[in-house]
Amino acid sequence: MADHAEPAARPGARLVSRTVEIDDPGPLLDLLPAEQGPLTWVRRGEGLVGWGETARVSTSGPDRFVTAERRWQRLLAGAVVRDDVGLRGTGPVAFGSFAFADGSPSRSQLVVPATVVGHRDGRWWLTRTTLTDGNTDGVIPGPVDGPPPVAPAPPAPGPVAFADGAVSSAAWEALVEAAVRRIDAGEVAKVVLARDLLARTETPLDPRVLLRRLADAYPSTWTFSVDGLVGATPEMLVRTQMRLVASRVLAGTIRRTGDDAHDLALAASLARSSKDLGEHEYAVRSVVEAITPFCAGTNVPESPFVLHLANVMHLATDVTGVLRDDVSSLHLAAALHPSAAVCGTPTTAAAALIAELEGMDRGRYAGPVGWLDSAGDGEWGIALRCGQLSEDAHEIRLFAGCGIVEGSDPAAELAESTAKFVPMRDALAG
């Protein structure tokens, strides 16, 4: 499939990057300027934010991951880098978001921001990345100013109107029934079905509003923004650092009630649910099978724990390993995608059933989203609890999905999907 990189494709262009340590500039999300296409990956106040665009790689098709990594490596091959900090995420960084399906018309994006501010373990840094023509003569342009100023508060979107997306609620329940019949027939063991919801605002929607509200309400998730895809995911697809790899698997969900005692009882029932434990086992197995070829060893807990979020609880397992060779985080994300948590089991049959039943293009929903640095280290989540902003910023398309297995009840799955819309609906409504 076609791919391109702009503006780095011009002959003689060289990537030039300078990173310096800075004093605490304040909350990362408060630094994002208006109308700059915010790039974010933040959890509990730590992570990366970026703005401006030095280079972009846009790809599609089954080779989208390979193409993006090849173009990223080509950019780095001639790069001139001065990094005074030397942490994971310093130096040149690319934020990325990839389409869920091989045949999706939505393009996957890898964006190199002009400015990045990072925070980790009590240290802050500022990176400027530019493109220069020809020889730099050993001169590395760098930040000569201090930390960026806190940006003015973004405006609230005003009234929001919600409408069905590609499929109505009633029609989606019918799709779940159809999926259960196919499971009973032995075609698949599990399939993840998603639905969408449209939200329209009277005034253009500033994504920084959503980012701040999501980060405040869901601090344990990774708040992300790449090329108009905005959300807060609880699921870490893969993280790498110095040949250590980790992946958090979520599958099996129950909605919280707001009553602490009742929620504890629900958490206990979730941990004992054969339906949810079976769904979770499928997801864990798919992750372990994907990373094992790259690892000298892996560690898989015997049983999941219950992850408590503000609106739902999930069964969760943290899978870890030690990499055999220098494998980039993006390469591992490609190997892991799509996991059983967002596709099903067996993968090929589940993906075909999704394409047949869902009646919509997921775009970059449920695809990998995150970042990588010049060493290949990075963090990639699964784009869940998110929405895709329209070009005119008056509409955002929200997504939610559920794992369908033997015995799944359509009404219960609809209720679960409705609960998964809550983070984005609340962020829009304020």
Q: Please report the pLDDT score of residue 155 as a whole number.
A: 85
Whole-angstrom Cα Rg for the chain: 21
CA distance linking residue 286 with residue 33, whole number of Å: 40
Residues of the chain with pLDDT > 70, as a percent, come to 94
Q: Please report the pLDDT score of residue 134 as a whole number.
A: 58
| pTM, full prediction | 0.91
CA distance linking residue 38 with residue 31, whole number of Å: 10
In the DSSP assignment, the letter for residue 203 is: S
Q: Please report the pLDDT score of residue 167 as a whole number.
A: 95
Residue 299: other Cβ atoms inside 10 A:
12
Q: Please report the pLDDT score of residue 103 as a whole number.
A: 94
Q: Please report the pLDDT score of residue 283 as a whole number.
A: 84
**Over residues 267-284, mean pLDDT:** 89
95 burial type by CB count under 10 A (0-12 exposed, 13-18 middle, 19+ buried): buried
Nearest to 239 by CA among 297, 323, 307: 323
Sequence-distant (≥ 6) Cβ neighbours of residue 339 within 8 angstroms: 237, 249, 283, 286, 287, 290, 382
Q: Strand, helix or coil at 170?
A: helix
Sequence-distant (≥ 6) Cβ neighbours of residue 259 within 8 angstroms: none
Q: Please report the pLDDT score of residue 13 as a whole number.
A: 74
Q: Please report the pLDDT score of residue 10 as a whole number.
A: 54
Nearest to 5 by CA among 105, 99, 75: 75
> pLDDT tens for residues 104-150?
999 999 999 999 999 999 999 999 999 887 554 444 555 546 667 78
Average pLDDT, rounded, for the chain = 91
> 12-26, 89-103, 378-392: which range is least confident on average?
12-26
Residues with a known catalytic role:
190, 235
343 burial type by CB count under 10 A (0-12 exposed, 13-18 middle, 19+ buried): buried
